Amino acid sequence: MKSAALLLSGLLLAMVTAIASANEAAAASAGPDLAKGQAKSTEVCMGCHTNDGSRGSPANPILQGQHPAYLVKQLTEFKADKRQSPIMKGIASSLSDQDMKNVAAFYGSKQAKPGFAKNKDLVTLGEKIYRGGLADRHIAACAGCHGPSGAGIPSQYPRLAGQHADYTEAQLNAFRSGVRKNSQQMTGITLEMTDREIKAVADYIAGLR
């Protein structure tokens, strides 16, 4: 009887463990919750990115309509110090993996508002580089990865259309200087670009739609 009781106890323990593992796996693979994403974004993101990720300060990125997988990647890399930002490091470190998915899905569900180029003298140069690159320096066309309309490719390349020119210019400069290190591809491209070319591309991108 004692051995039978031990066997039964072992079986029950194994069943409980299996159920717990299954529940953990289900939680890990759970889809994003937009309501929770909105709540979390209001709690930790709104101060810099507004309540829906729209056209806030030009120094901060517009998150509306951005690919959720790309946002999760950036948050993960801020948390792991692969992308440097003291502010974003603190925020990302407070988020669980599921929080990141929820917040990213919330912003990604929003319709991105159109932007506009400001510098007419540079927009022609910006368009030339964005659509055709600079062959003499082996600089690839931005459209090759981000699409002719700046829509990007989910999980691989971010949506650029309508992004603040100031923010885009700052990120291109950060890639070029080595301050931003989480894309070797972008570092290689920007190394060969002048300040004027970076400014022109950033302004052109702001008007894409």
Q: In this model, does residue 107 exceed pLDDT 70?
A: yes
State the Cα angle at 129 between 77 and 141, rounded to 5°: 60
Identify whether the C-beta of residue 198 lies closer than 8 Å to the C-beta of residue 190.
yes
pLDDT digits (tens, 9 = 90+) for 11-41: 444 443 444 444 444 444 579 999 999 999 9
Q: Classify residue 133 by burial, with Cβ atoms within 10 Å: 0-12, 13-18, 19+.
A: middle
- pLDDT at position 9 is 47
The domains of the chain, with CATH numbers, are 34-108 (1.10.760.10), 120-206 (1.10.760.10)
Among all chains, which residue has been given the structure tokens 């690839």? 140
- pLDDT at position 29 is 57
Closest-CA residue to 66 (of 147, 161, 165) = 161
- pLDDT at position 30 is 72
The mean pLDDT value of the chain amounts to 89
DSSP, collapsed to helix, strand or coil, labels residue 10 as helix
CA distance 15 to 68: 36
Confidence of residue 97 (pLDDT cuts 50, 70, 90): very high
pTM exceeds 0.75, yes or no: yes
